[in-house]
Amino acid sequence: MKRLGILFFVLMFALVSLAGCATSTVDIGIVLPTKDEPRWVQDETRFKDLLADSDYSVEILFSQGSTATELSNVETLISKGIKVLIITAQDGDAAGAAVEKAKAEGITVIAYDRLITNTEAVDYYVTFDSIAVGEAQGQYLVDHATGTGNPLYLYAGAASDNNAFLFFEGAWNVLQPKIADGTFVIENSSAAVGLQANATLTRTQMSTILDQVTTNWDFNTALSLAQTHLTAATVAQKGDVFILAPNDGTARAIADAFTADTAVTSYKITGQDAEIASVQYIIDGKQSMTVFKDVRTLVSDAITMAVSVLDGNTPTTTGTYDNGSIDVPAKQTAVVVVQQSNVTSALITSGYYTASQFTFPN
């Protein structure tokens, strides 16, 4: 009887260990927002490049613009036994439910590029300096405007993405004094016109502007919004125009709409992400600038953090971000402005892209 009892326990122990092995097949789970934007495919590629020789196993899943898919992706990764979750939220508030599930399983949560808001279930945040992204966009427009009365068209990212507010805040910091002194005239947002005397905006005030000028990070939305604005604008509101576009995908769509309008004689338009298609637009003079965010650095920061957690250490951070519930320890990376004159030095000499990916004029 005693022997049988011991045998039973040995068997049970073996079964439990086996079950443990079976469920813990992935160390690091990565959840990215969508394959439909080159930006996030770029991140996937850079993760794969960096992890090619890693001892840790990794799985990358895409949420395809859906918070529900994001949640089921996180559940799938939890069931595979991940110890660290690296996640770019589809919707910063809604992602709270997913990361709280992970946290309840003792998983370390790293918010990647987009802050997850109003939850305590975020351990770390790796990000670019998003205020600086917006400031660089605003500064580009300011640097290229002369005289007064220059038509200014404002566009923004998705209100569900905390970054959209940071980008807009940065741009406003730089543009507002030049709107107040008459250099620019806002043509496509009555809410922004109503707030143009304010050097800084509250989040609620920014929301009222975003309500009118959000692209929702969607190219088709950006295109039709720009077309609507151009249809509503008079010839006097066109001519040589200045356009704040929040990222490359929306910039190309908005640029196409402005190109098609014969009353627009020239435009300057911003972007960010240094997407291949936009770098080509810059070479061709169809987009004015982009803000290059070296995804290799963000990927390496996220993986360094994850490995440090897996090795039982505390990751190094450089500051904190208030997510509405807690101050999240964060590591932030600087950004670089790219325009026609420095495409080669910033993006090709640096090894980020190869010259063969672009068509240069003869």
| Selection from 131, 48, 44, 127 nearest residue 92 by Cα | 127
Residue 290 dihedral angles phi and psi, to the nearest 5°: -140, 160
**Hey, which residues between 16 and 75 contact ligand BGC (CB under 6 A)?**
37, 39
Question: Which residue shows structure tokens 């309008």?
Answer: 261
Q: How far is the CB of 313 from ligand BGC (least distance, A)?
A: 28
Which lies closer to ligand BGC via its Cβ, residue 157 or residue 170? 157
Question: Segment contacting ligand BGC (CB under 6 A): 47-55, 66-74, 155-163, 206-214?
Answer: 155-163
Which lies closer to ligand BGC via its Cβ, residue 153 or residue 217? 217
Q: How far is the CB of 331 from ligand BGC (least distance, A)?
A: 15
Which lies closer to ligand BGC via its Cβ, residue 125 or residue 217? 217
Task: State how far the Cα of 31 lies from the Cα of 77, in Å rounded to an integer.
Answer: 9
**Hey, which residues between 300 and 359 contact ligand BGC (CB under 6 A)?**
none
Establish if 218 lies at the interface with ligand BGC (CB under 6 A): no
The binder of ligand BGC chosen from 217, 258, 267, 292 (CB under 6 A)? 217
Which tokens belong to 243?
Answer: 């356009």
Which lies closer to ligand BGC via its Cβ, residue 217 or residue 258? 217
| Selection from 149, 90, 141, 93 nearest residue 116 by Cα | 93
The binder of ligand BGC chosen from 187, 273, 294, 301 (CB under 6 A)? 273
Instruction: For the beta carbon of residue 83, count every other beta carbon within 10 angstroms.
Output: 17
Establish if 252 lies at the interface with ligand BGC (CB under 6 A): no
Q: Are 136 and 335 in contact (CB under 8 A)?
A: yes
> Which residues touch 58 (CB under 8 Å, ≥6 apart)?
26, 27, 28, 29, 30, 47, 51
> What are the Cα distances from residue 341, in Å, to 109, 229, 265, 283, 344?
40, 31, 22, 9, 8
Q: How far is the CB of 202 from ligand BGC (least distance, A)?
A: 21
Binding mask 170-209 for ligand BGC (x = CB under 6 A): ----------------------------------------
Task: State how far the Cα of 48 lies from the Cα of 37, in Å rounded to an integer.
Answer: 17
Residues that bind ligand BGC (CB under 6 A): 37, 39, 113-114, 157, 161, 163, 217, 247, 272-273
